[in-house]
Amino acid sequence: DEMTPEEREFQERIGRGEKIEPKEWMPEGYRKTLIRQIGQHAHSEIVGQLPEGNWITRAPTLERKAILLAKVQDEAGHGLYLYSAVETLGVSRDELLAMLHSGKMKYSSIFNYPTLNWADIGAVGWLVDGAAIMNQVQLQKTSYGPYSRAMIRICKEESFHQRQGYDIMMKMAFGNPAQKAMAQDALSRFWYPSLMMFGPSDKDSVHSAQSMAWKIKINTNDELRQKFVDQTVPQAKYLGLTIPDENLKWNEDKGGYDFSEPDWSEFFDVIAGNGPCNRERMNARVKAWEDGAWFRDGLVAHAEKTASRRAA
């Protein structure tokens, strides 16, 4: 083959299931793929705060408010672990944020959909966090040490997020007819966008083959999407809600459900920047960055003053 001796040794380490650590040799493509994927993941965590933060002031009870507040704070923490993991690959957080703000880096398609009412917060926890965990459980075994360790921590918190979402859905679905209708409406709107979170179908996934050879990804997009559908259908049934897919049917042979693919043209449109909330999300992130400039300047000034006092 065309591998250099270094590349061959690297691939053998991957084959043995060894973790790759920051200061160790790695192929440039491996580093770039990690920066892209972990960076995109970090951006998703902090952009993902926006649709939920939108409901903190309007949560129906004090208890729900406290829970949602904790969850949204967790997402900020996840962003921080992940930005730290990317920084070990030689890119600063400022550079990453600049690439997010200029549109050079992506974040998850799902956060470009609006949260219109309280049932949507239930659906986001149940479906969006449910899809996120389905993807992240396998990433705990990813070959890059810092990413893998961040994922272990994140998955624990993510399971709590999924449970709180399902708990909201139970309250709504078992509530009065108007509440049940809201729960159904939220499921109907979030179903296909949640399926899109796993990325394009395997035949259109440009990065999967190489990322799996490097064990950056452990499962393909379609494998995880199938597992998510299989896990979610009984949960919807328990709630007495209907998944908006006429083709949804148990397939005995494959031991899983057959289901309709999402509208992939909508997906590609959303990741190209044209989803319902892309501009709103980016404006909010850029404004937060600009509004925080005085604080970052203050921190730097303080650090310089302290350092010069120490030198004197």
Q: Which is nearer to ligand 3HC, 18 or 269 (CB)?
A: 269
Task: Report, in Å, the least distance between residue 40 CB and ligand 3HC.
Answer: 5
Q: Which of 87, 120, 121, 135 binds ligand 3HC (CB under 6 A)?
A: 135
Residue among 115 and 221 whose Cβ is closer to ligand 3HC: 221
**3-state DSSP call for residue 216?**
coil
Instruction: Categorise residue 300: left if φ over 0, alpha if ψ from -120 to 50, beta otherwise.
Output: alpha
278 touches ligand 3HC (CB under 6 A): no
Give me the least distance between CB of 250 and ligand 3HC, in Å please.
26
**Structural element, H or E, at residue 250:** strand 249-251
Would you count residue 159 as binding ligand 3HC (CB under 6 A)? no
Kindly state whether residue 262 participates in binding ligand 3HC, applying the rule CB under 6 A: no
250 phi and psi angles, rounded to 5 deg = -65, 135
Q: Does 143 bind ligand 3HC (CB under 6 A)?
A: no
d(CA 312, CA 303): 14
Q: Which stretch binds ligand 3HC (CB under 6 A): 102-110, 167-175, 248-256, 276-284?
A: 102-110
Q: Which stretch binds ligand 3HC (CB under 6 A): 105-113, 245-253, 280-288, 304-312?
A: 105-113
Tokens of 261: 């693919």
Look at residues 250, 241, 138, 143 and name the one whose alpha carbon lies nearest to residue 185.
Answer: 241
The residues, ordered by sequence, that sit 6+ positions from 133 with a Cβ below 8 Å of its Cβ are 155, 158, 159, 162
Q: List the one residue from 115, 208, 219, 232 that touches ligand 3HC (CB under 6 A).
A: 208
Is 184 a binder of ligand 3HC (CB under 6 A)? Answer: no
Q: Which is nearer to ligand 3HC, 80 or 181 (CB)?
A: 80
Q: How far apart are CA 42 and CA 38, in angstroms?
A: 6
- 106, 149, 163, 180: residue in contact with ligand 3HC (rule CB under 6 A): 106
Q: How far apart are CA 175 and CA 60, in angstroms?
A: 14
- Please select the residue that binds ligand 3HC; options are 51, 200, 262, 275, rule is CB under 6 A: 200
| Alpha helix ranges (H) inside the chain | 5-15, 28-47, 49-53, 62-87, 93-101, 118-123, 129-139, 145-173, 177-196, 208-213, 221-239, 264-269, 278-291, 293-311
The reply to whether 141 sits near ligand 3HC by the rule CB under 6 A is no
As to burial, measured by CB atoms within 10 angstroms (0-12 exposed, 13-18 middle, 19+ buried), residue 163 is middle
Binding status of residue 146 toward ligand 3HC by CB under 6 A: no
Q: Which stretch binds ligand 3HC (CB under 6 A): 22-30, 32-40, 141-149, 246-254?
A: 32-40
User: Could you tell me which residues are beta bridge partners of residue 250?
Assistant: 257
Please tell me the distance from the alpha carbon of residue 5 to that of residue 11, in angstroms, as a whole number: 10
Residues of span 221-250 touching ligand 3HC by CB under 6 A: 221
Residues binding ligand 3HC (CB under 6 A) = 36-37, 40-41, 44-45, 48, 75, 78, 106, 108-109, 128-129, 132, 135, 158, 196-200, 205-208, 211, 217, 221, 271
